Every structure is written in structure tokens, then in C-alpha cells.
Amino acid sequence: MNRRTFLAATAGAGLAALDLADAEAVARRVTRPGRVAVGMGEVNAVRTMTGTLGDAASELGGGHARHLAVRYLTEDVRRWLDGRYTEAVGRELFAATAELVHLIGWMARDEGAVGLSQRYLVHSVRLATEAGENELAATALRGLADQAIDLGHVPTAVRLAEACEERGRRLDNPKALAYYRNTLARAKAVDGDRATAARMLSAAQGAMEHAPAAPGQSWASHYSHGRWAHDSGMIHARLGDLAAAEEHLSLALDIHGLDRRRTRAIVLADLGHVQLKRGNTAQALATWGDFLSCSAGVQSTKISDGLATVAARLPSVPDSPAVTDLRERVAARL
């Protein structure tokens, strides 16, 4: 499959998620005979496993534990989905499974398996829709929009981001609102719609100013102030405001929410790039040195992309001991 065909296929997979509404699916399953009686104990087990596996992936990258998450889904969770439960338990089970499937999709993307990731995310949208969970569905749509941007499928990304933000308006969760509005801001910035991008950036900031610092229980409530600052910084960079970009990226590193090595490393790589573009060469080299130290042992395409960016930019920097050291360290990693 050539790249153009692949892009068309993945865009189609993402847009398919917009036509999955089936809020009665759980009710139909309740009347179906099953082998296993399922209660809230099984639902809580799924959520505990998802949290544990997600913590490991956030620290070390999606490449470390995806096979464990897939095995848990196929060997344990699947038989519970095919089991016997009340409608109330069924909706909770579908919601918990949507979170696990979303996590696996995120892990697959972090490994570079984009097509596989999209299939999992579309399935997560379906499960969340069947459970009646707008926030979970919107968060999976957000993941699809983000991937469409990275693949260069901008019109698809805008449509998915708009659908994500529209679902988010129904929620009373400032972190979710900030998450989805920044997603739409990024898509609009890539599409050249600066006015809408700036408006969504401002709206996301307004929502985040009313959000509690501690993570909540819901899926999007884990969107921390640090992640918001990182996302906002990169959108400002796309819009050409490098001063605001550096301010937000530096803020992301200084506030609670970026305690995972993978996340900190990604922000450091981005910050160094912005500092270099602003002419702050010494700062950029020091930041990239921190990035290399922080990312050691992390398996993620985001880290690989960061290494490639440093390798591509160093030839344009005048030779110095710091440049030589970075060049050798990057070469050893690549």
C-alpha cells in the first residue's frame, strides 16, 4: 500500500467513528445468555488494570506494555463482555473497556503502528457511545483528530476535532473542555484558520483557569495543567508566536503534571527546538542535553522524532564542545 492510499484508508477509519451512535447496544446484550456472571468487581478490575498499564506506558512509552494490555483485553475482558450482567453494570463495563481499548490505541500509536491505533480508537468510540459516555467518545475522537493532523490529513482532522469539541460542550468538566478546545485549536492552526485557532486557545485557557490542579476520576480529568501548557505552546509555535510558545513550554516543565519521563522528555525536545528558532542557541543545546538524559530507556516514536529533530538541526549550529557532545550522544541513540 503506497502512502497516498494509506492516508486515505486511515482518514476513512477515523471518519467512520462519527457514524457509530448506538445507545441501545448494551440493553440488547443484557437479554443475551452468557457464560459468566459479571458485576462491579469485574468493572473495577478493568479500571485498575487500565490505570496500572497506563502509568507504565506514560513513564516508559507505549512499546513496553501494549502486548500485556492486548492479552488482558482478549483473554479476560472479552469473556466479561460476552457474559451476563444488568444494564447498569453493562454500561459501566462498556465504559471501562472503552478506556482500556483507548489506552491500547494510544500505545500502538506510540510504537508507530498508526493504522492499528486508529482501529482501536474507532472501537473505543463505539464502546463509549454504546455506554452513553460522551466524554470517553470525545476523547477517542480527539486521539483520531490528533493522528490525522500528524498524517497530514488536515480536512479530516478538522472534522474530527470539531466533532470532539461539539461533544465536549455537553460536559461540565473544565479539563475536558480545555482538552477538546486545544485539539480544535491545533487542527485549525494547521488548516490556516488563525482566528478560530486563537479563539479556541483562549477558550481552553479560560476553562483551565477554573480546573482543579489534582487529577479527577474521569478520563479527560487527567488532562493536567502541564499538558495544557505543552499543547498550547506548540499551537503558539504553529501560529508563529515563538515567545508565547517558549513561555508555555517552560511553564509546562515547572508545574505539576509532567512527572512522567516520557512526557518531560517530549516537552524538552520541543522547547529546545523553539529556543533554537528564537536564536537562543546555548539554551537550546542545554535543553536538548536534558532531553537526552530524560529520554534514556523510553520506547516511543515521539522520542525517536525528537532525536531526529536534534540530529537534523545540529549541523546548522556552529561547532563547539557542547555541539560535539550532543552530536555523539544523538548518534549513539540513533
Among 18-22, 79-83, 107-111, 146-150, the minimum mean pLDDT is found in 18-22
pLDDT at 222: 83
pLDDT at position 257: 52
- Alpha helix (H) ranges present in 191-224? 194-208
Number of H helices, E strands in the chain: 17, 0
Cell numbers that stand for 191 in this block: 488548516
pLDDT at 177: 94
DSSP secondary structure code for residue 300 in this structure: -
Whether 307 shows a pLDDT value over 70: the answer reads yes
159: nearest Cα among 148, 175, 172 = 148
CB environment 200-232: b (16+ within 10 A), e (fewer): bbebbbebbeebeeeeeebbbbbbbbbbbbbbb
Query: Per-residue confidence at 334, pLDDT binned at 50, 70, 90?
Result: confident
Q: What grid cell was written down for 330?
A: 544523538
The string of pLDDT tens digits covering residues 130-164 is 999 999 999 999 999 999 999 999 999 999 999 99
Q: Looking at the predicted structure, is the pLDDT value of residue 43 above 80? A: yes
3 state SS of 174:
helix
* Arithmetic mean of pLDDT over the chain: 88
Residue 4 has pLDDT above 80, yes or no: no
In this structure, how many other beta carbons lie within 10 angstroms of the beta carbon of residue 60? 17
Percentage of the chain lying above the pLDDT 70 cut = 89
Q: What is the pLDDT of residue 7?
A: 42
The predicted pLDDT at position 255 comes to 79
Q: Give the pLDDT mean for 109-121.
A: 92
Helix, strand, coil percentages in the chain from 3-state DSSP, rounded to 5: 80, 0, 20
- Residue 16: pLDDT band (50, 70, 90) is low
117 vs 187: CA distance, rounded Å? 19
Which one is predicted more confidently, 64 or 113? 113
8 or 211, higher pLDDT? 211
Percent of the chain with pLDDT over 90: 71
Cβ neighbours around 300 below 10 Å, total: 24
Cα(235)–Cα(185) distance, rounded to whole angstroms?
7
Q: Evaluate if residue 8 carries a pLDDT over 50.
A: no
Q: What is the pLDDT of residue 2?
A: 45
Q: Which 8-state DSSP code applies to residue 19?
A: G
Is residue 71's pLDDT more than 50?
Answer: yes
User: How high is the pLDDT of residue 27?
Assistant: 57
> Over the stretch 246-288, which tens digit does the pLDDT of each residue have?
999 999 998 755 668 898 999 999 999 999 999 999 999 999 9
The backbone torsions φ and ψ at residue 88, rounded to the nearest 5 degrees and listed phi first, read -65, -45
User: What was the pLDDT predicted at 60?
Assistant: 85
Instruction: Give the list of residues 6+ apart from residue 158 with CB closer than 8 angstroms, or none.
Output: 145, 184, 187, 188, 191
The SS3 call for residue 140 is helix
**Residue appearing with cell numbers 528564537:** 278
pLDDT band per the 50, 70, 90 thresholds, residue 6: very low
Amino acid at 266: I
Query: What pLDDT is stored for residue 25 in this prediction?
Result: 60
Neighbours of 90 (CB within 10 A): 24
Please report which confidence band the pLDDT of residue 1 belongs to, taking 50, 70 and 90 as the band edges: very low
Residue 30 has pLDDT above 80, yes or no: no
Q: How confident is the model at residue 215 (pLDDT cuts 50, 70, 90)?
A: confident
> What is the Cα–Cα distance from 141 to 143, expressed in whole angstroms?
5
Residue 84 has phi, psi (to 5 degrees) of: -120, 125
- Report whether 149 contacts 189 (CB < 8 A): no
pLDDT band at 55 (very low <50, low <70, confident <90, very high): confident
What pLDDT is stored for residue 131 in this prediction? 92
pLDDT at 184: 97
